Amino acid sequence: MSVDRTAALALLHEHTKTDSLRKHAYAVEAAMRAMSARMGGDADLWGATGLLHDFDYEAHPAPDAHPYVGVGILRELGYPAALCEAILGHAEYTGVARTSDLAKALFAVDELCGLVTAVALVRPSKSIHDVTPKSVKKKLAEKSFARSVSREDIRRGAEELGVDLTDQIAFVIEALRGVAPALGLEGDGIGGTT
């Protein structure tokens, strides 16, 4: 099955109603498309993996359900095994090893996209264009900021890719800048560069 973004987006919207979770999916999709270019992957497959990695989370947030319910749906619909395995591997508690570049990339960008987005939203401008690796690393060190974001997953993700954490943060910031309007992070014109 070729991975059609329109069908993947429709599936996301069918199962995910909250704006914040949809925006997270768009952010991870953008980061995964950028990662595919960096690592020689199929942009449509990698993008769909990012778009759909949490599509079941809203209805099935418990660790015994997410991402298993979603992967079950994806398998029934004929999505590629590589996509399903990467989605299973993005949740540490599943015990599914991340052996492919696709799986490692998803794990490396998922939590980081959440943190970068949170950093942008607390900027006076609300703009991703005002976010720097330094500002993200500062918030990474603040355990009370964006408490639900796993700092350990962010660090381990960069390690598994064999990349410097600061470089990975810069890479994700740049990927999200490309979709700033869809994420609501283009800025409000207050402060910094918008």
Ordered domains of the chain (ranges, CATH): 5-181 (1.10.3210)
**What's residue 134's pLDDT?**
97
The b/e string for 56-94 (b: 16+ C-beta within 10 A; e otherwise) is: bbeebeeeeebbbbbbebbeeeebbebbbbbbbbbbeee
In this structure, which long-range contacts are made by residues 15-24, counting pairs with CB atoms below 8 Å and at least 24 apart in sequence?
Answer: 15/55, 15/56, 15/58, 15/59, 15/70, 15/73, 16/54, 16/55, 16/57, 16/58, 17/58, 18/58, 21/54, 21/57, 21/58, 23/117, 23/182, 23/183, 23/184, 24/54, 24/113, 24/114, 24/117
Does pLDDT of 92 surpass 50?
yes
Residue 187 is predicted with a pLDDT of: 83
Q: Examine the pLDDT at 113 and tell me if it is beyond 80.
A: yes
CA 152, CA 116: separation in Å to the nearest integer? 15
For 74-95, give the DSSP string: HHHTT--HHHHHHHHHTSGGG-
User: Is residue 35 predicted with pLDDT exceeding 90?
Assistant: yes
Mean pLDDT across 125-149: 95
Mean pLDDT, residues 14-27 taken together? 97
Confidence of residue 193 (pLDDT cuts 50, 70, 90): very low
pLDDT at residue 172 greater than cutoff 70: yes
User: How do residues 100-111 score in pLDDT, each as one tens digit?
Assistant: 999 999 999 999
What is the pTM (predicted TM-score) of this model?
0.94
What's the gap between Cα 8 and its chain centre?
15
Q: How confident is the model at residue 1 (pLDDT cuts 50, 70, 90)?
A: low
